[in-house]
Amino acid sequence: MDQPVPSSAYPVSARNKVKRLHERGFYDRETIWKILDAAMLCHVSYVIDGQPFCTPTIHWREGDWLYWHGSSASRMLRQLKAGAPVCLTVSHLDGLVLSRCGFNHSANHRSAMCFGIAGIVDDPGQKSRAFDALIERFYPGRPAMMRANTVQEEKATMVIGMQIEEASAKVRAKGAGDNDEDLETPLWAGVIPVETVLRSPEISPQVPAGTAVPPHVRLYGEGRRLDDALLEAQALYEASAK
């Protein structure tokens, strides 16, 4: 049976419908946004003259809008300047799943796939706010502490925005999927959990002695899961925008 599609969900079409193992598919904003917000890196897929490309980049979300940026000389950003259909994906690896048969080996994961028309944010005021938003989203409070970007720096960088038209998530979070006839096989089976855990921040040697560690650095404290820190940063970002 397909997952129920609540009113808070994105529309389901042939483009975003999870076709294989559809019971793992989700279309509600809460699930999809949480997967997007728990990541800092996405992959943007697009086509130039019939040739597909996929570019990794940093992304951030504001409601139903996704943003990313890059060099003004970027092939991807030049292609998207006039507006182009793209597919943006985020994935998290949560576990290695070993079964007693090769066919049943798998991976626990969370992934989101978003579709829309991407275009350049070219209004100077909106572009400047987007640069601050990129930093504020990951490091709450830091833009107020930094020097302003120069005109040349902002000219050298493009900002892309895309409203999510359709999206879906796919989640696997369970143990080994052994067949009944394989259960007596004397072979180790189970899950090897995978986490991205933060290490202790390393201060630049050029920072003056006695400089305080700001709260947005402590947010990424040693031993903490990266996705947890990113979700907290997103919550602070959204609260500051209200």
Tens digits of per-residue pLDDT, 126-163?
A: 989 999 999 999 999 999 999 998 888 888 888 999 99
- Report the C-alpha gap between 166 and 114 in whole angstroms: 6
* pLDDT, tens digit, 9 for 90 and up, residues 23-78: 788 999 999 999 999 999 999 998 888 889 898 999 999 999 999 987 766 766 66
- pTM of the predicted structure, to 2 decimals: 0.90
- Give the CA distances from residue 81 to residues 51, 67, 77, 113, in Å, rounded to whole numbers and listed in that order: 18, 13, 6, 22
Directed axis angle between helix 226-241 and helix 29-37, to 10°? 110
Beta-bridge partners for 118: 84, 162
63 Cβ contact partners less than 8 Å away, ≥ 6 residues apart: none
What's the CATH number of domain 22-181+192-241, 3.30.465.10, 3.30.360.10, 2.30.110.10, 3.40.190.10?
Answer: 2.30.110.10
DSSP-derived letter for residue 177 is: -
Neighbours of 221 (CB within 10 A): 13
Query: Is residue 89 over pLDDT 90?
Result: yes
Domain ranges for the chain, please list them: 22-181+192-241
- Report the C-alpha gap between 163 and 176 in whole angstroms: 37
The SS3 assignment for 19 reads: coil
* pLDDT, tens digit, 9 for 90 and up, residues 171-194: 999 988 888 888 889 999 999 999
